[in-house]
Amino acid sequence: MTYHVPVLLKECIEGLDIDPKGVYVDVTFGGGGHSREIIKHITTGKLIAFDQDRDAAKNIIDDERFVFVPHNFRFLRNFVKYHGFKKVDGILADLGVSSHHFDTPDRGFSTRFDSPLDMRMNQLAGNTAADVLNMYSEKQLSDLLFIYGEIKSSRKIASKIVSVRGEKPFTTTGDFIDVVKPFGPKNRENKFLAQAFQALRIEVNGEMDVLKEFLEQVPKVLKPDGKLVVITYHSLEDRLVKNFIKTGNFKGEKEVDMYGNIISPLEQVNRKLILPSEEELVINTRSRSAKLRIAKMR
């Protein structure tokens, strides 16, 4: 089984503009697709790879130039320093959920299987998706479905969830689908369910907070002219990345110096959003929502 086909691989490598003697970080190691390509371009440099998922450790690269960190990338700066580096030459983040997660039934990420409602990237920590559905208040459920899933009928769904769990707690993805599905438009049920699953997954893993913490550390970790390469898959995370690159904050509010220049530690490299080619879309359908942004330290 394919763990994960690396998305926009050629474009990512070009964006990193790898120095063979440099130090690079892949904060979303997964199946190691991007990392294996990065390390081909390194001679005496180092590659540090993060992944909190225990399954990812099975893909570790046996190479003295490779360092694996089995933790969330919200701890980027700490572990870069721990391994003896003050600054690095490039950072790659592929924010998508891997094919492995979607194809492994017992992880609960996919709408295709009736499986345990887990959805944790780190299976040793935090609340499961079932915990969220069974414990959160009606307002909390409504908010997360609306904000993270962009679901307009979030209040009605939240009310139904609270009503249903009063009779029987949620334990499987099927339980969740049974409640959500009737509220979706008949011509786009799969997309609607994917949005609901996305909302739960983001909440379970604190993905928006993790992304913010990560981005705030980037200017402290990257060398001058060092590259940041980020692949996003939905509008919420893409907006955060875009705003931070452009303005140095998450609201996208521009601050300018006395000469009218925008004050931001990063500078956009690609003015135009980089999207998968038609050829890649055919080979890897899961790349269809990918957006690539590249920036460099000023």
Supply angle C-alpha 100, 102, 107, rounded to 5. Answer: 90
Partners of 25 in the beta sheet?
Answer: 48, 91
- In the block, residue with structure tokens 């995370």: 237
From the candidate CATH numbers 3.40.630.30, 1.10.10.60, 3.40.47.10, 1.10.150.170, the one assigned to the domain spanning 108-205: 1.10.150.170
Per-residue pLDDT, averaged over 19-27, amounts to 98
Q: Which fold has domain 9-99+207-297?
A: Rossmann fold (3.40.50)
Q: Is residue 292 within 8 Å of residue 11, measured between CB atoms?
A: yes
User: What is the rounded average pLDDT for all residues in the chain?
Assistant: 93
**Which of 144, 130, 233 has the alpha carbon at shortest distance from 176?**
130
Q: What are the sequence ranges of the domains in the chain? A: 9-99+207-297, 108-205
Q: Do domains 9-99+207-297 and 108-205 have the same CATH topology?
A: no
- The confidence score (pLDDT) of residue 5 equals 79
Q: Categorize the per-residue pLDDT at 148 as very low, low, confident or very high, splitting at 50, 70 and 90.
A: very high
**Does residue 185 have a pLDDT over 50?**
yes
Q: Categorize the per-residue pLDDT at 274 as very low, low, confident or very high, splitting at 50, 70 and 90.
A: very high
